[in-house]
Amino acid sequence: MTNPPTRRTVLATGAASALLMGCSEYGDENSGGDTEEASSVAPSGTASGGGAPGGKELTKTADVPVGGGKIFKEEKVVVTQPEKGGFKAFSAVCTHQGCVVADVSDGTINCKCHSSRFRVADGSVAGGPAPKPLPAKQITVTGDSISLA
Ligand code: FES
């Protein structure tokens, strides 16, 4: 009796094939940069989770508190909802010395490095040493989904 192939088996086989193909390309054609360009093309649609068209989904509207916000450290974006149903996004990189902001509370986006605070409504400086507002970021709200534009 043979077991059906597991996901791990399939992935391992696929990786081995890709390696073999890569080696043969380099071995057969010593043409410089052409092979690198060809191998960097990613299949389309693999990163999409079925969300809104355009950018990567960040979160659901219900996960951003009214009067507050949510920080996405990996994307370096903070999404706020100053008023119910009105969403904004800003860079999460503090304009003082570049720390990623730490939290959102009491209507401000807060950097813990040197205590700068930015208003959730427009990213303007509410306190601390930051010299400039947080720059706005483009987002798209589609239904209950918020994506980077
Ligand atoms: Fe944010 Fe200094 S880096 S307050």
At 20-78, the pLDDT tens digits run 444 444 444 444 444 444 444 444 434 444 444 557 899 999 999 999 999 999 999 99
d(CA 118, CA 109): 5
Strand ranges (DSSP E) for the chain?
A: 57-60, 69-72, 77-83, 86-91, 103-105, 108-110, 117-119, 125-127, 139-142, 145-148
Domain residue ranges of the chain, discontinuous segments joined by +: 37-148
Determine whether the shortest distance from the Cβ of 134 to ligand 1 is under 6 A: no
Which 3 state secondary structure label does DSSP give 132?
A: coil
Q: How far is the CA of 130 from the centre of ligand 1 (A)?
A: 6
Nearest residue by C-alpha to atom 3 in ligand 1: 97
- pTM beyond 0.85: no
- Using alpha carbons, select from 78, 50, 51, 52 the residue that is nearest to residue 65: 78
Please tell me the number of Cα atoms within 13 Å of 7 on its side-chain side.
0
Pick the residue whose CA is nearest to atom 4 on ligand 1: 114
The CA 7 to ligand 1 mean position distance, Å, reads 45
Task: Give the pLDDT confidence of 108-123 residue by residue, as tens digits.
Answer: 999 999 999 999 999 9
Query: Are the CB atoms for 61 and 144 separated by under 8 Å?
Result: yes
The confidence score (pLDDT) of residue 76 equals: 97
Lookup: tokens for 135: 């720059």
* 102 within ligand 1 shell (Cβ under 6 A): no
Instruction: Calculate mean pLDDT across residues 13-21.
Output: 42
Q: What is the pLDDT, as a whole number, of residue 14?
A: 42
CATH class of 37-148: mainly beta
Both structure tokens of 15: 């990786």
Per-residue pLDDT tens digits for 71-110: 999 999 999 999 999 999 999 999 999 999 999 999 999 9
pLDDT at 54: 59
**Tokens 């043409």 belong to residue:** 31
**Cα–Cα distance for residue pair 146/63, rounded to 1 Å:** 10
- Tokens linked to 112: 């813990």
pLDDT of amino acid 120: 98
